[in-house]
Amino acid sequence: MSADVKRYQISLTGMTVDYLAGTSCMQGDEEPKVRAELSALRRWKNGTEAGKVSFETLAWLVEYLHTWTEAADNRETPGEERAAAAAFKKISAIYEKAKEEGGDVTDSKTETAPFKVKDVRGDIRIGATHSGGTPHALKEVDANGRNVPYCPTRTKDPIRSWGPAHEVNGKLDLCVKCAKVVPTGAVTVTEEEIAIPGLGRTATKTIITPVDGTTEEKAEEPMAAPAKKTAAKKTAAKKTASSDGPKVMEEETQKAAADEIRADIERLSSLTAEGKEDAVKELAEEITKKTNAITGSGAAAVKAKLRADKEKAVKDAQAAKKTAAKKPSTEVANLATKDFMKAEGVPELIKVSADLVKDIAANEFNGAYRLSEHLLGMRLAIVDEDGDPNLKGNAQQSRSAAEKMWNSVLDELPPKGENEDADVIRDSIGQVKKQQRNAMQDVLVNYVRWLDTETPKDEEEAAKLAKERGRFKNALEMFPEGHEIEVEQDGKPVRRPILWSERVYDYYDAKGKTFAKSRMTRAEEASQRRALNAGRRKEIAAAVEAGEISEEEAQETLNPGVHEKTPGEKRATWVEKTQNAWAAHAKEIAKLESEEEREEAFEVLAAMIPELRKALKKVRDA
């Protein structure tokens, strides 16, 4: 690299240095310039390395560290995950700032740029673990039904396919390792109508045929190769349709075509309402042809939306036509509870719950679980606009019912200072609320699991079970009896009937009304964490015994960032706590209604200052 290349200051932690030491860049022949710059960094006693590097090295560091974050996440090692995430965030920030300063242009004659989805051959599927994840090129599906990417990366969560590359947003950056081996080239995209036997309907089948470019997996090249933006590379990799097939639409052309079809759909709705069947049939066929002709980035999603809009417009128009003679209702059907005090059992539950709160607070016993059961009873009786029990408790009527219960506890207490037991209850309300919120997780999980009961213990439980299942008729409609789901058993996918608990959880998730962060109780979550930590400790102990890492490194991995506080740090913490407690007490005094009481309290507080000075002097002179 020439002497006038702009350089950027970086620092790498010991764990980051250790990770990079095992990469192909530092171990093999890949990227000698990058390796030389990283090797030249100054190493400090604590293992940190620091120095200045070029923009090219910054770019490759970002890619290496991104790979590290994925690998650490898959290994489920919290210490390593945090270290990888912190390193990636820090170097990425430097890299982005360098880009803003023009480092990507001035650093070399050839601009560094990521490999885009549009450069992938159009029939290759693209996917990621989630909507915002790194896009991978998908090579095949393994025996377990999981998508396998072209790169060697193996993710904890399965990669979901977004569809063929020609239908995905071409501006997205492809995974760097996939870019090294994924096939490229143009494709021919054609569509034909396939008859569905017995239904008298047709479905559109998309056929994607490679035209030129590579038809097999590329031999791996140095990492820099796909990122170089030379004119020849851009020309070769640019995805175009064959002259024998339909041209791939540009974004603006695709948008204009979609807008034209939407206008036709509006006209179709009007013709349907007017009963002009011949015109409706003719226009519907025209809309279908126009929709099928849409190509380009994201075409599948655009076409699916247009087809759904067309179907909905026709159905809505037909429904409006059938009810034209009837007086239209001005009110949208809403099954939500309007008054919680009229919901079955809620007034009684409010009274019972308030009495229980007093017992819990006054006698200091843990009745939070039973209290949460009462509050869940209110949520089950209060339904939302769909007629579903408000399991999350976020509906206004649910919140109002809970608020009335808590307020009734305080309203029935005598004024502060008149009764010692009442004052204890008043002071303990906040703690009882916290215990109840925590216990609700267990109550919800156990209630939903109870719905799976196959053999009730008696007729009373059987009747109760039937009543509770009846609350979730919408969930049963979405996932009827006999509905099967696919689960993994002994490493293989198998199908079995859906359980009632799964039916409820999945229905609420599908409707955007998720009511639980976890489907496990708190004890089960803690047990799972202990098992994971125990397994991790065994791995670390084995590594120490094998001489792969030192005891110090093992402790740092298990307890990253934990260190014994110095006497000065301990004093600073104590001083901060004392100051906060003093300030909080002063604020409480200021809230007193009686001016006489406030003055008396402030005098007591002020009188403590000379007493504290005397105590400090006594200790210092001892």
**Residue-level pLDDT at 243:** 40
Residue 483, number of CB atoms within 10 A of its CB: 13
Half-sphere exposure of 551 (CA within 13 A, CB side): 0
- The pTM (predicted TM-score) of the whole model is 0.40
Q: pLDDT grade, residue 199 (50/70/90)?
A: low
Nearest to 456 by CA among 395, 505, 500, 509: 500
Strand partners, 187: 210, 241
In angstroms, rounded to a whole number, what is the distance separating the alpha carbons of residues 478 and 513? 15
Task: List the chain domain ranges.
Answer: 7-106, 117-237, 251-322, 340-450, 524-558, 567-621
Q: What is the pLDDT of residue 131?
A: 67
116 strand-pairing partners? 173
Which of 558, 564, 563, 565 is closest to 82 using CA atoms?
Answer: 558
Quick: pLDDT tens for 125-166. Answer: 998 877 667 788 998 888 777 888 888 776 667 888 888 888
* pLDDT given for residue 465 in this prediction: 95
**Nearest residue to 279 via CA among 306, 312, 317:** 317
Q: Please tell me which of 22-31, 88-97, 141-150 the model is most confident about, judged by mean pLDDT.
A: 88-97
The full length of the chain comes to 622
Distance linking the first and last C-alpha atoms of the chain = 68
Query: Which DSSP string do the residues of 548-588 spell out, in sequence order?
Result: SS-HHHHHHHHSTT--PPPHHHHHHHHHHHHHHHHHHHHHH
- pLDDT, averaged across the chain: 80
**Residue 535 confidence (pLDDT) above 50:** yes
Lowest mean pLDDT segment, chosen from 23-27, 32-36, 392-396: 23-27
Provide the β-strand partners of residue 389.
383
Q: Tell whether the model's pLDDT for residue 468 goes beyond 90.
A: yes
Tally of CB atoms within 10 A around 450: 14
- The reported pLDDT for the residue numbered 346 is 93
SS3 519: coil
Average pLDDT over residues 165-169: 84
Mean pLDDT, residues 166-190: 80
3-state secondary structure 62-106: HHHHHHHHHHHHHHCCHHHHHHHHHHHHHHHHHHHHHHHCCHHHH
Residue 537: predicted pLDDT? 85
- Find, among 107, 160, 164, the residue nearest to 129 by Cα: 160
Q: Dump pLDDT digits (tens) for 538-597.
A: 888 888 787 777 777 777 777 665 556 678 777 887 888 888 888 888 888 888 888 888
What is the spatial distance between Cα 123 and Cα 201, in angstroms, rounded to a whole number?
A: 27
CA 174 to centroid of chain Cα atoms: 21
The 3-state DSSP composition of the chain as helix, strand, coil percent (nearest 5) reads 55, 10, 35
Q: Give the per-residue pLDDT at 541.
A: 85
pLDDT of residue 417: 87
Count of CB atoms situated within 10 Å of the CB of 354: 20
Please compute, for residue 415, the number of CA atoms within 13 A of its CA located in the half-sphere on the CB side.
Answer: 1
**Which one is predicted more confidently, 11 or 143?**
11
Task: Encode pLDDT of 557-568 as tens digits.
Answer: 776 655 566 787
